[in-house]
Structure 1
């Protein structure tokens, strides 16, 4: 009889515990876990509001359009970086590949008189081939992505410098490859076609990640590669495809870079490797893989540019811009750790 009473009391306590309404922290955790791009979006809005209070020039349409244009190269590159980080990898060579591809495009078009479209296609092939090398070393040789891309960073940088021979290629006005640097107007806002190309790339990648089997497999591999393998997913094939598809984003970024600098410059994009990782991390994609959305990386790239622009308009020392970005990265990783550790 006593045992039955204790059982009833235990069942009632358990039922009360299970039916207890979630705390504010649990609700916030649940929302942020389900919407990885929400926290960077909030940061972006707050940053815009804050900088508008420090400078009346911040909200001018000309300034906002400049911010978006400046984010085009890193934003496009971050789309490819997102795919790799979603698999719990990282690519330290992605910027070096972009510069190599852009230089080959410009050189072929200007010095070898190769038609612009063909030069672009060759640049695309080079970017995809370079990323395939990274993917092959990760999937077949079983080397850690950090080590692989740290090594290929030096390799592709050296190839670029050897190929360029210290020369910078300046394309003539009207060249096909400069199309991404041309501007168009939406009302009073001027944007480049490179920005438009970046937006299209994000739409395509967002659709692929959300609505295709490939996208679901990518998340599964990043979340738990062994569980994905046991579920029948070809982990190596998914990983290799992530690097190859990222190569397409690298090639698009290279084209945008050519339009921005007016040709090919072996010294351009020196910090693009780390800047792309910064955009992805601030954008809410987990460095541990399996969680994040590609749109968050675009928001992350915009956040970095908004801080750079806003602090510059406020008249602060440029070193504070670097400090702000560093704080944002640490804060973003801390939020990701909290989301992963707190039990909903």
Structure 2
């Protein structure tokens, strides 16, 4: 009897060992999973439609991803601390509307309007940080409340009217200008976005602030006992996120060649989707900005590829939602490696 069951036992142990190795590799390198999904998606869509891998189409995908990726960068900081920011999209849109108002109504030069717009976005993020750290409200409730407040103020200040790019200084729409690289066209907004990702990759990996962000998200009480000023870290994270959302608002103006108060209804969920697909844990303490960039590209590639394939919009959303569920389930499985 023992001889008959030995091969089966061996196979089970071999499978368990393989699963554990994969689990450990993905835990140590959370970017590998999203990167594999992105590569497979690009290959699949290139086979389905040869236009997908053309330079003009890839230029379009990157331009479409740029705003979401910038917002997702700020969202990554928040989620790394085990929080969430439901106001990311409206802060970006509202900041853009304020920049346009400073130019057209107050007659400010583009540079001053841009600086004040960034300051307003930063202040909105700081309000979220204050409510989370000082009033001790849950991030979900705080950002849900400020989402509604900023949405209302956005409508009041803009009168629900769109400001055309031609009515603003060239600086406001500069991010939509392109640099030709053969048939590929790279926008200045995309360059800014990539530069921000490079900077925050360094900041999170190489600076004390970055290490404190990870420690706070992994175990806030342990971080506090280790001497980390966790309220200060959380406040800085929401404030920096607000600034990044404002930069996203500027890029959005260039993308649309206008400042519209009626866009960005899906930006909040899209930014969270990009972060989750990029391997950043919703429980905090694990993830990277490189993964977020890959996650944003996954969203853009899937939507563009499905559109080229003639798939209806409703089923495009279905596919993205399914990806999110798979990503969260995978994160839960990977986290078990600690236990």
* Coarse TM-score class (shorter-chain normalised): over 0.9
2:35 aligned to which of 30, 37, 41: 41
User: 1:52-71 counterparts in 2 under 5 A?
Assistant: 52-71=46-65
Distance 2:195 2:243 in 1: 13
Partner of 1:282: 277
Partner of 2:7: none
In structure 2, the CA distance between the partners of 1:27 and 1:157, relative to structure 1 (3 Å rule), is: same
The alignment status of 1:270 with 2:286, answered yes or no, reads: no
Deviations 1:197-244 (A, max 9, x none): 000000011000000000000000000000000000001000001011
Task: Flag as ranges the 4+ runs of structure 1 deviating above 4 A.
Answer: none
Deviations 1:164-198 (A, max 9, x none): 11211002186111110000022321011000000
- Runs of 5+ unmatched residues, structure 1: 1-19
**How much does 1:110 deviate?**
2.4
**How much does 1:342 deviate?**
3.6
1:110 aligned to which of 92, 104, 108: 104
Task: Look up the SS of the partner of 2:166 in the other structure.
Answer: coil
Distance 1:302 1:121 in 2: 29
- Runs of 5+ unmatched residues, structure 2: 1-13
Distance 2:226 2:21 in 1: 31
Partner of 1:91: 85
- Select the structure of larger CA radius of gyration: 1
Check conservation: 1:29, 1:342, Cα contact below 8 A: yes
TM-score normalized with structure 1 length: 0.92
The alignment status of 1:245 with 2:204, answered yes or no, reads: no
The alignment status of 1:330 with 2:330, answered yes or no, reads: no
Partner of 2:289: 294
Partner of 1:308: 303
Deviations 1:120-168 (A, max 9, x none): 0001000010000000000001000000001110000000001011211
TM-score normalized with structure 2 length: 0.93
The alignment status of 1:24 with 2:21, answered yes or no, reads: no
Check conservation: 1:107, 1:264, Cα contact below 8 A: no
Partner of 2:68: 74
Deviations 1:99-128 (A, max 9, x none): 110001112112322110110000100001
Task: Look up the SS of the partner of 1:23 in the other structure.
Answer: helix
Distance 1:255 1:312 in 2: 27
